[in-house]
Amino acid sequence: MGLAKAKKAKVLQASTSEVYGEPLEHPQKEEYRGNVSMSGPRACYDEGKRCAEALFFEYYRSHGLKIKVIRIFNTYGPRMAENDGRVVSNFITHALKNKDISVYGDGSQTRSFCYVDDLVGGIVKMMATGDNVTGPINLGNPRELTIKQIGEIILKLTGSKSELVYKDLPVDDPTRRCPDITKAKQILNWEPKVDLETGLASTIEYFKQ
């Protein structure tokens, strides 16, 4: 932020849906202040992002820094790292190897997955807005699916012989996650275009290669 101030540059804060924690509001709007554990095993990430947002807005108020704050929901697509620990990459790599797929809890927790091309398009549009638009603005896909459904779709698309194996749910793992993208539609004229099955097919092809 100091460098951006010195160079009079716009600067993007890639925040996260994790600032909402275990949400008591659904879907999550930008005005929702969250329900976050400050001492749990995931707190360093959640609170780190919340702190970063606070610092960005303080620089905006104190120094007139040109900030753009977006809250990114689950994103996937080609070029994901095979071992990054994310749901989509884990499920696909295990399915292609016909290894059991671990589902935590009963698989009823939900996520909303946005294809990487859609996300990048939203970021570009956000950076093109006037200085009066600071955010935060949610960028994500409002199509909400359970983790079990995601696993079943990936098994079908890969033709895998893998099975879903259920394990204990990690501490502080959010049970629901879905963005309200009303602001993105109104301010950025943006919404996701790539449906999940199409995006997963491209991602699966990448991992095959």
Active-site residue set: 45
Which residue in the block uniquely carries the two structure tokens 């509001």? 25
101: Cβ contacts below 8 Å, ≥ 6 apart: 90, 91, 94, 95, 151, 154, 155, 162, 163, 164, 165
- On the 0-12 / 13-18 / 19+ scale of CB atoms within 10 A, 128 is exposed
In order, the DSSP letters of 123-164 are: HHHHHTS-TT----EEES----EEHHHHHHHHHHHHT----E
CA distance 99 to 118: 30
